[in-house]
Amino acid sequence: MTDLDGSNRKMILSDATVRHIYSLVIFENWMFWSDWERKQIHRAHKFNGSNQQALVTLVHRPMGQ
């Protein structure tokens, strides 16, 4: 069932995993985000948060375009 009030939401990543998100993108079965605190680009499965990994580590803070 689709709800627009957020009453049926599900947490798939914890605060320990995600620190300071600047941008978030969903593509196919993956979600990608940039983390300013870790200076990395991450990905995880969009339905359950599995297979999370850092794809890129940067010298500066990653920003969305």
Greater pLDDT, 46 or 18: 46
Check residue 18 and give its pLDDT.
Answer: 75
Say how many C-beta atoms besides its own lie within 10 A of residue 54's C-beta.
Answer: 12
- The pTM of the full predicted model, rounded to 2 decimals, is 0.75
Check residue 8 and give its pLDDT.
Answer: 83
* Residue 58 predicted with pLDDT over 70: yes
- Gap between the Cα atoms of 17 and 21, Å rounded: 11
* Residue 63 predicted with pLDDT over 80: no
- Residues whose CB falls within 8 Å of the CB of residue 51, separated by 6 or more in sequence, listed in order: 43, 44, 45
